[in-house]
C-alpha cells in the first residue's frame, strides 16, 4: 500500500451490503510524525475525520472533546471502534496500522464499525 503524505482527501466508507452504498467523508491525512503527534490536540471540533498513519494506538490527553477512534488493519478494514473521553490512553491494537479519529458519535452515522472496509482518495497534488 502506498504511503500517504500530510494533506486532505476523502474517506469512503463501504457499506455492509445492506443497500447503504458508500458514504464519503472529508478527511485530513496525518502521515508525518509532527502531524500525527498534533492530531486533534487543541481543537474544539472537526469536519469529517483525521487519519493517522502509521499508528496502532492513541491517547486523548489535552484533548477538548470526546472522540470516536477506529483501528484499521493494513488493508483498511476496521478492527475495532471505541469512543474515548479526554484524558484517556488507548491500548495499541496488535494488527492496527492506521487510526481514524472523529468527533464522538460521528462514526456510527457513517457506518464505521468492526468488519467494515474503508478506502481513501487523496486530493490532487496533496497527500499521496
In terms of DSSP H, where are the helices of the chain?
33-38, 106-110
Tell whether pTM > 0.85: yes
Size of the chain, expressed as the number of residues it contains? 128
Model pLDDT for residues 72-121, shown as the tens digit of each residue:
999 999 999 999 999 999 888 989 999 999 999 999 999 999 999 999 99
In 3-state terms, what secondary structure has residue 24?
strand
Amino acid at each position: 500500500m502506498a504511503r500517504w503524505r500530510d494533506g486532505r482527501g476523502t474517506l469512503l466508507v463501504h457499506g455492509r451490503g445492506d443497500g447503504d452504498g458508500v458514504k464519503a467523508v472529508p478527511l485530513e491525512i496525518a502521515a508525518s510524525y509532527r502531524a500525527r503527534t498534533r492530531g486533534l490536540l487543541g481543537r474544539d471540533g472537526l469536519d469529517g475525520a483525521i487519519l493517522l498513519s502509521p499508528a496502532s494506538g492513541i491517547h486523548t490527553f489535552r484533548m477538548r472533546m470526546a472522540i470516536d477512534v477506529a483501528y484499521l488493519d493494513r488493508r483498511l478494514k476496521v478492527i475495532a471502534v471505541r469512543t474515548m473521553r479526554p484524558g484517556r490512553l488507548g491500548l495499541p491494537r496488535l494488527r492496527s496500522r492506521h487510526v481514524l479519529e472523529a468527533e464522538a458519535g460521528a462514526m456510527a452515522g457513517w457506518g464505521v464499525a468492526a468488519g467494515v472496509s474503508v478506502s481513501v482518495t487523496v486530493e490532487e497534488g496533496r497527500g499521496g
